[in-house]
Amino acid sequence: MIYTEQTVKALKLCFVAHKEQTDKTGVPYVFHPFHLAEQMTDELTAAAALLHDVVEDTDYTLEDLEKMGFDSRVMEALALLTHDPEVPYMDYVAAAGRNPIARAVKLADLRHNSDLSRMVGRELTEWDEKRNEKYLTAIAYLEGLDG
């Protein structure tokens, strides 16, 4: 983890925002953003990784986070990482791919979410398999932006 004033503030908010949530296998959800943040290489991507699901999955808004003083580059990435259900999924992924912070976080997010070994004690459903195919397609797209 990269410890700066901004990442510590993001770490604390991430914990508070997700503390009552669990993933599909009952593991505390907060471990997911912590896992992503551990992979990031700078302050901005680490803060964005910690906060990437806060707006989408809690009552916090982008305006709330902006008022808390998060860097404008983190805020821009978070806006791109918050999927509006009205926007087709691959359009959302493409937009995130155009921002280096959002792209780094989204790739880590997709890789973690497509790790089926996380589904310990839970039988995979057809929905899980389709979701995983969607994630693998998005990973291939974002990785293809390198070339």
The residues assigned a catalytic role are: 56-57
CB 50 within 8 A of CB 10: yes
* Token output for 48: 């964005």
Look up residue 22 and give its DSSP letter: B
Cβ proximity of 107 and 48 under 8 Å: no
Strand, helix or coil at 81?
A: helix
